[in-house]
Amino acid sequence: DDLLLNDQVAQEEFRDAQLNALRDSYGENEEEEQHDFENIEHPTPPPDAKIVDNFDVKHNFKVVDPRAEWVPLPRPSQPSVPRIKFVEEVGSRKSSDPYAKNNFNVHASNKLPSDRKVPDTRNPMCRKRKYPEDYPPDLPSTTIIFTFHNEARSTLYRSVRSVLDRSPPELIDEVILIDDASDDPEQGKIVEGMEKVRILRNHEREGLIRSRVRGANAAQSPVLTFLDSHIECNTDWLPPLLEQLHKNYRAVASPTIDVINMDNFRYLGSTSGLRGGFTWSMQFQWETAPLKGKSAIDPIPTPMIAGGLFSITKRWFDESGQYDLDMDVWGGENFEISFRTWMCGGRMDIVPCSRVGHVFRKQHPYSFPGGNGRTYDKNTARTAEVWMDEYKQHFYHARPSAKFAAVGPLEERTELRKRLNCKSFGWYLENVYPELSVPGRDMVGFGQIKQGMQCIDAGAGTLNAKLAVQHCLPQDSDKQEWIFRNDGTIKLQDGHGTNFCVALDKDNHAVLHTCTTDPPMLWTYTESKQIRHRETGLCLTSSKKPQLRAFPCGSTSNENERWAFTK
Ligand code: UD2
Ligand code: MN
């Protein structure tokens, strides 16, 4: 009971604090508050209550806060949009379009106080630990490294301000900004003269990867902390990150990334308990981390970092090979540093008590010299070639265009891997990311299940729908993609989040049922390429096509019982 009461008190405190912070975020005093409140695009939170976060550890219930809206954490923008075209469109738009330059609403940013407060979105348990009392006395200090290309002045300024305002001064040695050849050479002038701030300008565009290395080489602190140039640090964001590195100099620590809405710049708490993962086509994605009985404020080991916001010791950054300097502009470097860190003796965690807001955009606001698809292919192919061993085939299969990327010389990076005596990618998969499904490892086959030009089709694709033998559709069509898993189930992969597997009905028609590993849903792929129902011993045949039915194996012609997978 006591525990429950404490939780309730904590939640109420949390709600009050959040409300106050939200009010504060629109200005210091009442008048200003009113003023700013009315001028901002969508000042009031939506009326319908939404979940802001899962703040409770033991009871696992959710705090519903009517003043904050829950948003699924967006992915960092992906390079699938043709960038060059988009940039040309921007150029032709009227300059009064607040999205034209930055792909976020710069008017909303301009209107906000440059030192606005943000709601404290941390789990209330985080607030019990105070700096410096509850931290090791010798936390290492850090240099903050921002790289930016054409960042909006108000946003850049607020980013730097939030670092200086919300960090213990003794833990910040310097703030280094790398102006990556912004069109206006004075773009960074807005932060010039701020305490501890130093600006370095690239005369040619280097991309964020080489720019960060330039910043790192100029830094002298024991810890480097990289940030994007459109962020706002939350309360006490820094000590929990540094603490991780204090424990282990090979650790990389990432904050939990909150969302600054790109349209109205509202600061939104994001779901906790997420970690970074990826697909074989090398798209970063957020996923729910396995809990493993730990407290909700314990650091969450993550196979991958989003890339932009993290602390790392200078010693480990340098020892482990900084970044791959042959990677251009944007993208892929988070894969490279994540594989490298784990495989070469380090670790990566997302720290729940450290929160930093970030403006997630839908598209890049800058050009990719050479094209964004090509750049992403090159950067990820370099990662695959150096770090992914035989598993790189799955990457090339999922991202065929990367096969043709001009990757450039790799010796330096392969040498580095040897010198550091790094483990294999297989080790990484087994120990760090066992949840990633490996084609061929967890499955008998996948893709279409074919007989010449005929394919097994999910029919209506709904529960109890009868399967059919149909003309094969273009690959990736949602009714003909299957996964035949090692556990014997054949699952429909329709990309809609359904969970249907192949079963037999009373008349031995193949039908869709909700997947279980009960005997009626288990199949064996035989050496003669039959699909045999384990419980009844019957084989799937096309002899009554378009129906897909099961008969005693060998009772219809071999041709009708022989099935092949496309992948
Ligand atoms: C995410 C990361 C980003 C980076 C990227 C993959 C977060 C929150 N962001 O994309 O940091 O790891 O994935 O590469 O995890 N910039 C330059 N020069 C350039 C291009 C960009 O300095 O040529 C700057 C840019 O101004 C920004 C930072 O690099 O401050 C990251 O770029 P972004 O915000 O476009 O990347 P994002 O957040 O989509
Ligand atoms: Mn960013």
Sequence spans of domains, the chain:
49-359, 443-565
CA of 26 to the centre of ligand 1 (A): 27
Class at the top of the CATH hierarchy for domain 443-565: mainly beta
Least Cα distance to 409 among 329, 325, 500 occurs for 325
Report the atom number in ligand 1 closest to the C-alpha of 206: 23
Q: Which superfamily, per CATH, for 49-359?
A: Spore Coat Polysaccharide Biosynthesis Protein SpsA; Chain A (3.90.550.10)
Residue 151 CA: which ligand 1 atom is closest? Answer: 26
DSSP H helices, 390-516, are: 392-398, 411-419, 425-431
Instruction: Answer whether residue 546 shows pLDDT above 60.
Output: yes
Q: Which atom of ligand 1 is nearest to the CA of 366?
A: 20
Q: How confident is the model at residue 25 (pLDDT cuts 50, 70, 90)?
A: very low
Average pLDDT of every residue of the chain? 83
Q: Which of these ranges, 74-78, 236-240, 259-263, 403-407, has the smallest mean pLDDT?
A: 74-78
Pocket-testing residue among 102, 157, 208, 270, ligand 1, by greatest number of atoms within 8 A of Cβ: 208
Q: Which of 5-14, 208-217, 477-486, 515-524 has the lowest mean pLDDT?
A: 5-14
475, containing H or E segment: none
In this predicted structure, the answer to whether residue 153 has a pLDDT above a threshold of 50 is yes
pLDDT of residue 498: 66
CA distance 30 to 40: 15
Provide the percentage of residues in the chain whose pLDDT is more than 70: 82
Q: CA 245 to CA 221: how far, in whole Å?
A: 13
| pTM score of the predicted model | 0.73
- Which atom belonging to ligand 1 lies closest to the Cα atom of 331? 14
Instruction: Provide mean pLDDT across the span 431-450.
Output: 88
pLDDT at 56 > cutoff 70: no
Other C-beta atoms closer than 10 Å to the C-beta of 44 total 10
Band the pLDDT of 10: cuts 50, 70, 90: low
Residues having CB closer than 6 A to ligand 1 are 76-77, 147-149, 151, 180, 205, 207-208, 211, 228-229, 257, 306-309, 329-331, 333-334, 358, 364, 366
Q: From the CA of 146, which ligand is nearest?
A: 1
Helices 372-387 and 411-419: angle between axes, nearest 10 degrees: 40
Ligand 2 centroid to residue 306 C-alpha, Å: 10
Q: How many angstroms is it from 549 CA to the middle of ligand 2?
A: 53
pLDDT of residue 15: 53
Q: Check residue 78 and give its pLDDT.
A: 38
Annotate 73-129 with DSSP letters as a single string: PPPPPPTTS-HHHHHHHHHHS-TT-TTTTTSS-HHHHHHS-TT------S-GGGGGS
On the question of pLDDT at 282 being above 80, the answer is yes
Ligand 1 probe mutation, 330, 359, 363, 372, most atoms within 8 A of CB:
330
What is the mean predicted confidence (pLDDT) over 401-415?
96
Average pLDDT over residues 521-533: 96
pLDDT value at position 292? 76
Q: Residue 50 pLDDT > 80, yes or no?
A: no
Q: Which residue has the tokens 């696992």?
A: 60
Output the CA 80–ligand 1 centroid distance in Å. Answer: 15
Is residue 150's pLDDT more than 70? yes
Whole-number Å distance between alpha carbons of 265 and 54: 23
Residue 79, pLDDT > 50, answer: no
Q: Is the pLDDT of residue 36 over 50?
A: no
pLDDT at site 9 = 54
Residue 177 makes CB contacts below 8 A (sequence gap 6+) with 145, 146, 147, 148, 156, 160, 188, 191, 197, 198, 199, 200, 215, 229
| Per-residue pLDDT at 203 | 92
Q: Nearest residue CA, atom 14 of ligand 1?
A: 331
Contact, 260 vs 232, CB < 8 A?
A: yes
- pLDDT higher than threshold 50 for residue 52: no
User: How much is the pLDDT for 318?
Assistant: 97
Which pLDDT score, from 0 to 100, does residue 2 have?
A: 42
- Pocket probe for ligand 1: among 146, 151, 228, the residue whose CB has the most ligand atoms within 8 Å is 228
pLDDT at 11 over 80: no
Instruction: Assign 68 a pLDDT band (cuts: 50, 70, 90).
Output: very low
Closest C-alpha residue for ligand 1 atom 24: 148
200-244 residue pLDDT tens: 999 999 999 999 999 999 999 999 999 999 999 999 999 999 999
CA of 386 to the centre of ligand 2 (A): 26
Ligand having the closest approach to the CA of 103: 1
CA-nearest residue, atom 7 of ligand 1? 308
Whose CA is closest to atom 38 on ligand 1?
76
Q: Whose CA is nearest to atom 21 of ligand 1?
A: 208
Average pLDDT over residues 340-360: 97
pLDDT score at 28: 36
Tell me what the mean pLDDT of segment 114-132 comes to. 92
Query: Which atom of ligand 1 is nearest the CA belonging to 365?
Result: 35
- Closest CA relative to residue 232, chosen from 136, 294, 309, 306: 309
Output the pLDDT for position 17: 53
Residue 12: per-residue pLDDT: 55
Ligand nearest 270 Cα, by number?
A: 1
Q: Whose CA is nearest to atom 3 of ligand 1?
A: 308
Top-confidence range, 10-14, 162-166, 381-385, 444-448: 381-385
List CB contacts of 273: < 8 A, sequence separation 6 or more.
54, 288, 289, 291, 296, 300, 352
Q: Is the pLDDT of residue 20 over 80?
A: no
What is the Å distance from ligand 1's center to 230 Cα? 9
**Cα three-residue angle 316-317-323, rounded to 5 degrees:** 145
Atom of ligand 1 nearest to the CA of 329: 23
Q: 55 pLDDT exceeds 90?
A: no
Q: What pLDDT shows up at residue 306?
A: 93
Query: pLDDT confidence of 19, banded at 50, 70, 90?
Result: low
**Smallest-distance ligand from the CA of 334:** 1
Nearest CA to ligand 1 atom 25: 148
**Closest C-alpha to ligand 1, atom 2:** 308
CA of residue 14 to ligand 1 center, whole Å: 32
- Which atom of ligand 1 is least distant from the CA of 257? 8
Please tell me the distance between residue 76's alpha carbon and the centre of ligand 1 in angstroms: 8
State the ligand closest to the CA atom of 78. 1
Atom of ligand 1 nearest to the CA of 307: 12
The ligand 1 atom nearest the CA atom of 149: 26
Q: Percentage of the chain surpassing pLDDT 90?
A: 63
Q: Which ligand is nearest to the CA of 148?
A: 1
Q: What is the mean pLDDT of residues 318-322?
A: 97
Atom of ligand 1 nearest to the CA of 359: 38
